[in-house]
Amino acid sequence: MYRRQRQMAGDAQGRASEDRAQLWESIRTVEEEGFRLELGFIQDMYEAGTLSRAQATKLRDSVYLLQLNAAESHH
């Protein structure tokens, strides 16, 4: 009986680990999509004349920095 309980506990830990990995993958996917959308909005605003080239460049650089920070925090 004890052996079966240990096996069940190990199985539960394995599933929890898989769930955490899947959660982190989902978080990364959402972050990546958010960055992609943000860059798209910046481009749209630049093309519409709402942002100057310098403003668009500065905003893009900020998004790129956020992307790097996010990537580093996941490793």
Q: pTM for the whole thing?
A: 0.72
Q: Which domain holds residue 32?
A: 2-73
Asked if the model's pLDDT at residue 69 lies above 90, the reply is: yes
pLDDT at 55: 99
Q: Count H helices, E strands: the chain?
A: 2, 0
Place of tokens 């798209």: 40
Domain count, the chain: 1
Return the closest-CA partner of residue 57 out of 48, 46, 68.
Answer: 46
**pLDDT tens-digit map of 31-67:** 999 999 999 999 999 999 999 999 999 999 999 999 9
